[in-house]
Amino acid sequence: MPNTALVEIRDVNFAYDHRPILKGINMSFGKGKVIAIMGGSGCGKTTLFRLIGGALKPSRGEVKIAGKVIHEMDERELYEMRCQIGVLFQFGALFTDISVFDNVAFQLREHSDLPEELIRDLVMMKLHAVGLRGTHNLMPGELSGGMARRVALARTVALDPMLILYDEPFTGLDPISLSVVGQLIRKLTDALGSTSVIVTHDVQESLKIVDYVYFIADGVIRAEGTPAQITASADPFVHQFVHGEIDGPIPFHHIGQRSYAQDLGVAR
């Protein structure tokens, strides 16, 4: 990607025991860009997020954020780096026993010495940015699914992080809420100048807001490009994934060593 990179992933390999998950992955996430990482379940998307966040170490290769290798950091350096990374978890993961206001204020209270008056102003600004300033006194259980996701987004950007990781941000949303959240991701990325990385299965919504797309399959990058390039691609893998087709290079069945007839006990 032609842009100053905030995140650089170079020749990254990772395996659980002897089961390879990622095999020579190379990616670059530009500053101020929205990047989508797509692929089937179990292809390594979540593992990649854990490598970026420093929860896992690659068996080979390196992950750099702002020029610093994540797995070479000590505990203090990693903590400081994580304070500059926002994460929107799947389904939002709000704290259910505290109010909307306190959910958004949590990181500000935990990671800054700001006075409560300023924290209040910042929380109300973040809630206003996602269109939910009037919900500050509500409890998470009083919110719809789409509203809860937007509150979680406000909490994610409370500290104005330089990097934001979105884990399936569109899961479980109705079409209107899905579109709202998608546009908010784009607008907040542009307003903050941050880099947003989205792991998602929602191809069509993502192509409306992202700058670049990576497709992962069998532990390698099978395809990459801009939304226009992905949409126009004649590659069978890309075409099958974008259009949700059953027939193609991505198999529906996971074939074992025994035949179907053997598993049923009817083979001779």
- The position carrying tokens 């935990």 is 110
Residue corresponding to tokens 């607008």: 187
pLDDT digits (tens, 9 = 90+) for 198-245: 988 778 888 889 999 998 888 888 889 998 888 887 877 777 777 666
Lowest average pLDDT, out of 68-77, 125-134, 169-178, 194-203, goes to: 169-178
- Going edge to edge, which strands form the sheet with 163-167? 85-88, 163-167, 195-199, 34-38, 212-217, 220-225
Residues 150-165 have pLDDT tens digits of: 899 889 988 889 999 9
* Under 8 Å between Cβ of 111 and 125: no
* Per-residue confidence band for 93, with pLDDT thresholds at 50, 70 and 90: confident
Q: Which residues contact 76 (CB under 8 A, 6 or more apart)?
A: none
Nearest-angstrom CA–CA distance, 229 and 38: 15
pLDDT at 211: 94
Burial of 22 (C-beta count, 10 Å sphere; 0-12/13-18/19+): buried
Gap between the Cα atoms of 18 and 34, Å rounded: 33
Residues 6 or more apart in contact with residue 54 via CB below 8 angstroms:
70, 71, 73, 78, 81, 82
pLDDT digits 0-9 by tens, 33-70:
999 998 777 677 888 888 998 888 999 999 999 999 99
Residues 6+ apart with CB under 8 A from 258: none
Sheet of 5-16: strands edge to edge?
A: 19-30, 5-16, 60-65, 68-69
